[in-house]
Amino acid sequence: MSLDKILSISGKPGLYELKAQTKAGFLAESLVDGKKLSVGMRHNVSVLNEIAIYTYSEEVPLKQIFNNIKEKENGGESISHKVPKAELEKYFSEILPDYDEERVYASDMKKVIQWYNLLHKKGIVNFDAVAASEEE
């Protein structure tokens, strides 16, 4: 499964997999509990493949940050997203040293780490294959 099929829906916890398109929106399945959800046009939806994090020089795609975490953790799970802010910032500066400290908030860092851990639990950790298939 690639990141272009994984969604974040505002107001809804966790991540969702895009299942099908409907007349009024689309059908998504929660990666947390497997429940299906009909998503209309009124929802604010972000595709993980299109999310990037600000650095001082460029915007780094989320898949690259996930790869950085995977490399740091030797393919394992990351730290908890519930750690104190100082510990979260220290960890994030290790995986993305030049992140823009004024535009990347602790809440953003928590989401990235929480999403990585959720994808890891679901066995979706081959971000290199995702990157290669997107380049073709």
Architecture of the domain whose range is 51-135: Orthogonal Bundle (1.10)
pLDDT at 82: 95
Which architecture does CATH list for 3-48? Roll (2.30)
- For 73-100, the pLDDT digits (tens) are 999 999 999 999 999 999 999 999 999 9
Give residue 3's pLDDT band: very low, low, confident or very high (50, 70, 90).
confident
**Of 45, 47, 1, 5, the residue nearest 25 (C-alpha):** 45
Structure tokens at 132: 């290669």
pLDDT digits (tens, 9 = 90+) for 42-83: 889 999 999 999 999 999 999 999 999 999 999 999 999 999
**pTM (two decimals):** 0.88
pLDDT score of 128: 61
Tell me the average pLDDT of the chain.
89
Count Cα atoms within 13 angstroms, Cβ side, for 47. 7
Q: Where are the domains of the chain?
A: 3-48, 51-135
What are the helix (H) ranges across 1-136? 62-72, 85-95, 106-121, 127-135
Examine domains 3-48 and 51-135 and report if their fold is the same. no
How far, in Å, CA of 104 to CA of 101, rounded?
A: 5
Percent above pLDDT 70 for the chain: 93
Beta-carbon contacts of 110 under 8 Å, excluding residues fewer than 6 positions away, are 81, 82, 88
pLDDT at 134 over 80: no
Give the pLDDT confidence score for residue 43 in this predicted structure.
Answer: 86
